[in-house]
Structure 1
């Protein structure tokens, strides 16, 4: 802003500045100061307070476009509390910071939509309520202008959905309540039901306490109270304190379609008021349960969805594992939708163990990272290759004070595992943040067959497993050969180890851990998991024990998988090489962990090719040309474009090449999901064909489809069991009763041959 003419501080009326602007008001020396009126040459007008040439205090701005602002300013910026009227008729009343909506405020859009809640840098961010012009509402958390986190969507017909949200779409655990009294508890994936869930028909006995999760935190309320907008947002503060505690769920989720109004997201149903026969609602009051009034009718069903398509529905009796009505909402979701995991909280049996583990890893990685990277040496594997440290709670010269119990820490072969992490492009800072950040680890509630306990990092990149002393010895013994094998074969399918540690607690109790890569760390939902050994004795799962989280076995597998010939050849070759290594180390009892993501049957999908091309970033012309020559139905394979794909977790090495793409490296495009880098055992598209009837694992649907488009994830796990004396005895004893070739405990050579032969049958060669 240009300065005014020389003045003695008296009001100067009609003062024209050298740049053509006009100022009428008080001056302090040569600059506007106090109260005044300023008009720019473009017609913009400000009427209010000044502080040494800066608009500061209360004032009103009017723009030539017709927009206006009335409220606080500071240092020449809109800053504080004020009201903005847009040229399109929109109205915002609330907090500002540096010309952007920031803090608490209410926005009425030009199309009569309304948002009340927190803002950050001009976008809804935090807790808020959005009301569409047609009466639909969303109450919950936002991030960068989109529904993100826990929230509740309510439609004018009474349907509501309590769910986690991601980028404006339902994503994660949730439950919906219909006006008929029906209820569905399950999971959503990017706006579509996906995976297993429970459906309760009207009149059935369903879980009580289906209430909206506590959306408001003390931080939200304190932030609102201290924002300085008590007068402007008193109604919103009341909303923050009371609204989430009074809503009750009665919902059906409709996938929203984005409609641009220029500022905030607005949504509309893709298919009108109702998506399915479930689309009707009735409210539930606190603690209310609908009782089963018809004892002789099946009113509860186990359902399975694949990307919004219902592929399986089975009646569920009251005596066959139906959630008890006394269970809380969180317990029900944990059992039905979230997997057998629980976040480790203060007071949890593993809480202090987790803190000790995080402290030790942070110390070790921080100590080894500054050391210049070098090739490992023979003494990096020996008994001297250890880091030992005592961690007293009050701290020491080398360790920080902490709120856990005193413990001794031992880290094995730190330089070796540092190099292994480097091989798989794992940044030290990311590694520590994943395992030792502010978030807690998650514990698998059911231990493995060996009694080992599994923990998962919050970002699910890493798995931590407790080891028996014998397993630790085997791992350290085989570590030099393991290191050389992993370095020689980029695409090895063997478990990736990233650290081995031991914690010694008071009283001498020792707990040993190994940190591994999670092969199922993917944006795609894993619908089936199989643990395949190639043996048949005891390799099936009881039907009553099967749920969404069950890892099935060899005899449960009712599919074979057709993959592109180059991929099949590379896969069998790598499996053979990995088995040769394990055989050389006298290892048995390993298995192939296979994860399957099913794509919804193509003819049941409603998305058009045009919509698919928009979501995948492929032009319509390229899409049509590819579809004409492609035999893949549920996904697309396109030439690899570096930097555009979502890579697998902890993978490296060359990409597999597709014969359909002229033997080029390819990316997997899943419309509506993303673009994925295809590598051996990671993001591998295939066709699953049913080869036998098995009601335990059959994917049922009304059309009896026998072929599915799938994405596969696979790796060799459990490689720490030697063929020792006890296994020889087990083999001898079981051979008296069963076929010696059908049992798991056989010599390493026989085990490897049987393992490879079985997987060759699972991935048959196409002619």
Structure 2
């Protein structure tokens, strides 16, 4: 059902490709397609179509991965948000259900999000590729987003973490040794460990500062730094490795007045999902900032007051965007070398 709807929605963008950067109308467009037994809406379709092409993603590949060619894979999450998570059958794209208010925030911030990626092509922000709603028969409308999976390709990944820079509710009971269960662990599971990036450490710290400053300006909090580890093979290590490094733009053809230095570009590995990959001396790291839709409004301010009383002297996720950004950057500084 969802797959057939997304196939048809992508076909529209293929039949009517955008000719330039998104306009104000593109950001507000709503396309409703009625199918037998369900209705699928595509929000800001032309803007996301432009974003996908600017990332070098062919619409035909996107359509094939999300269409009826194979079943989606349900992703087991340790999140308390009650959201549902899926991977496309090739595991390249990540789908997540969202609350209506979160979708409103994402769409309101979308023009500035596009500008940020143009200004900082190698940003750690998750690459959003689409926002949709699905209604089955006369049921409730369900919203979901599509983004590039940070953990792709996942074949040799050994550990996965979701980091918020705090301690309350930030422990996951690890799977038993030998279990096929794949869990995303949290902050307290990472105690005593570090990320060895070598010369790439300074780039990561600076990019974290740039990206969290942007999220602070949007009044956003409760986002996560996703991390995964993959041990490098012997022939993948060092300057003589078989990896070919290239410079690339995350948004191709985007004209920016910024100089390359201020854009904080880096050498990207010649591998799939290069924007979310950093290689250290021994490990390959998959890194990305996700969950960018929680605004520090009245609901979160009241939650902050309640948690202050409930958890005196302990750190928790519901704090002001300025404090949240600063604390996550401090976590990265403290846990990298």
Structure 2 CA distance for aligned equivalents of residues 730 and 380 of structure 1: 35
Q: By how many angstroms is 1:544 displaced?
A: 7.1
- CA separation of 1:585/1:740 partners in 2, compared to 1, >3 Å: closer, same or farther? farther
1:472 to 100, 103, 117: 103
The answer as to whether partners of 2:7 and 2:67 remain within 8 angstroms in 1 is: yes
Superposed displacement of residue 499, structure 1: 0.8
Whether 2:30 is the aligned partner of 1:386: answer yes
In the TM superposition, 1:271-282 aligns within 5 A as: none
Match in the other structure for 2:293: 720
- 1:686 aligns to 2:283 (yes or no): no
Deviations along 1:67-93, one digit per CA (max 9) or x if unpaired, are xxxxxxxxxxxxxxxxxxxxxxxxxxx
Quote the residue 2:262 is aligned against.
none
Once the two structures are superposed, the pairs formed by residues 424-439 of structure 1 within 5 Å of their partners are 424-439=55-70
CA contact under 8 A between 1:532 and 1:553: conserved in structure 2?
yes
Q: Are 2:136 and 1:563 aligned?
A: no
Whole-angstrom CA distance in 2 between matches of 1:576 and 1:514: 25
SS of the aligned residue for 1:470 comes to helix
Q: Is the 8 A contact 1:493 1:716 kept in 2?
A: yes
Helix, strand or coil for the counterpart of 2:145? strand
Superposition map of 1:648-687 within 5 A: 665=267, 676=271, 681-682=276-277, 684-686=278-280
Give the superposition deviation at 1:361: 1.7
Say whether 1:502 aligns with 2:133. Answer: yes
Structure with greater proportional strand content: 1
SS in 2 for 1:719: coil
RMSD between superposed Cα atoms in Å: 2.9
- Distance across 2 between alignment mates of 1:573 and 1:747: 21
1:423 aligns with 2:25: no
| TM-superposed deviation, 1:450 | 0.8
1:637 corresponds, among 228, 239, 251, to 239
Query: How far did residue 430 of structure 1 move?
Result: 0.6
- Residues 198 and 280, structure 2, Cα contact 8 Å, conserved in 1: yes
Matched pairs, number: 320
> 1:652 offset after TM fit, Å?
6.7
Structure with the higher helix share, 1 or 2: 2
CA shift at 1:554, angstroms? Answer: 1.1
Give the counterpart of 1:577 among 190, 204, 210.
210
Contact 2:229 2:283 in 1 (8 A): yes
Larger RCO (alpha carbons 8 Å, 6+ apart): 2
Secondary structure at the aligned position of 2:301 is classed as: helix
Query: Residue in 2 aligned with 1:141?
Result: none
Note if contact 2:10-2:59 (Cα within 8 Å) is conserved in structure 1.
Answer: yes
**Would you say 1:364 and 2:9 are equivalent positions?**
yes
Measured against aligned partners, the alpha-carbon deviations of 1:547-599 in whole angstroms (never above 9, x if no partner) come to 6512111121121122232x212111111111011111111111111001135
1: CA distance between counterparts of 2:98 and 2:174? 30
2:108 is paired with a residue whose SS is: helix
State how far apart, in whole Å, the 2-side matches of 1:391 and 1:421 are: 25
Cα distance per residue 1:603-661 (max 9 Å; x no partner): xxxxxxxxx7xxx6xxxxxxxxxxxxxxxxx723338876xx8999x9678xxxxxxxx
Alpha-carbon distance, 1:451 to partner: 0.9
Q: Secondary structure at the match of 2:221?
A: coil
TM-score w.r.t. the length of structure 2 is 0.85
Aligned counterpart, 2:302: 729
By how many angstroms is 1:463 displaced?
0.9
Query: Measured at CA, do residues 447 and 468 of structure 1 come closer, stay the same or move farther in structure 2, by a change above 3 Å?
Result: farther
Structure 1 residues 482, 371: closer, same or farther in 2, change over 3 A? same
Instruction: Identify the residue that residue 539 of structure 1 maps to in structure 2.
Output: 170
Listed as ranges, the gaps of 5+ residues in structure 2 are: 253-265
The equivalent of 2:43 in structure 1 is 412
Rg larger for:
1
Closer/same/farther in 2, CA of residues 523 and 637 from structure 1, 3 Å limit: farther
Change (3 A) 1:757 1:741: farther
What is the SS of the residue equivalent to 1:637? coil
Q: Is the 8 A contact 1:637 1:666 kept in 2?
A: no
Mapped to 1, the partners of 2:306 and 2:273 lie a distance apart of 44
CA displacement at 1:741 relative to structure 2: 6.4
Label 1:464 to 1:562 Cα distance change in 2 as closer, same or farther (>3 A).
same
